[in-house]
Amino acid sequence: MNYQLNTEKILFTQLGEEGVIYDTESNEYVSLNETFFKILQGIENRKTTEQIVRNLCDEYDISEEKCAREVHAALLKLADKKYII
């Protein structure tokens, strides 16, 4: 599945190894941990969910099944906040 950043609602940038979202509707900054940052970076680079999972599995010592569950949960949170569409 492919998602996109909701650029009408957020600004997204890297800050060190992590990332920051600025929510233009609520006027709030949201600090992202390294994993959420890499997921959003993958979305920004037009990678599929499967590609994001593969990249994270290659980088971290995690099973593909567990990684896919955690990425899916993260995507649901991001979509719920309307940071991705």
What is the C-alpha to C-alpha distance for residues 28 and 70, in angstroms, rounded to an integer?
25
Q: Looking at the domain assignment, is residue 32 inside a domain?
A: yes
pTM: 0.93
Q: For residue 7, give both structure tokens.
A: 């650029």
**pLDDT given at position 30:** 96
Q: Looking at the domain assignment, is residue 74 inside a domain?
A: yes
What is the C-alpha to C-alpha distance for residues 83 and 70, in angstroms, rounded to an integer?
17
Q: What is the CATH number of the domain that holds 20?
A: 1.10.10
Q: Looking at the domain assignment, is residue 34 inside a domain?
A: yes
Q: Looking at the domain assignment, is residue 1 inside a domain?
A: no
Q: Looking at the domain assignment, is residue 28 inside a domain?
A: yes
Q: Looking at the domain assignment, is residue 5 inside a domain?
A: no
β-partners of residue 31 are: 20
**pLDDT given at position 9:** 97
Q: How many domains does the chain have?
A: 1
Domain enclosing residue 30, as ranges: 10-80
What confidence tens digit (pLDDT) does each residue in 23-62 have? Answer: 999 999 999 999 999 999 999 999 999 999 999 999 999 9
Q: Looking at the domain assignment, is residue 65 inside a domain?
A: yes
**pLDDT given at position 1:** 82
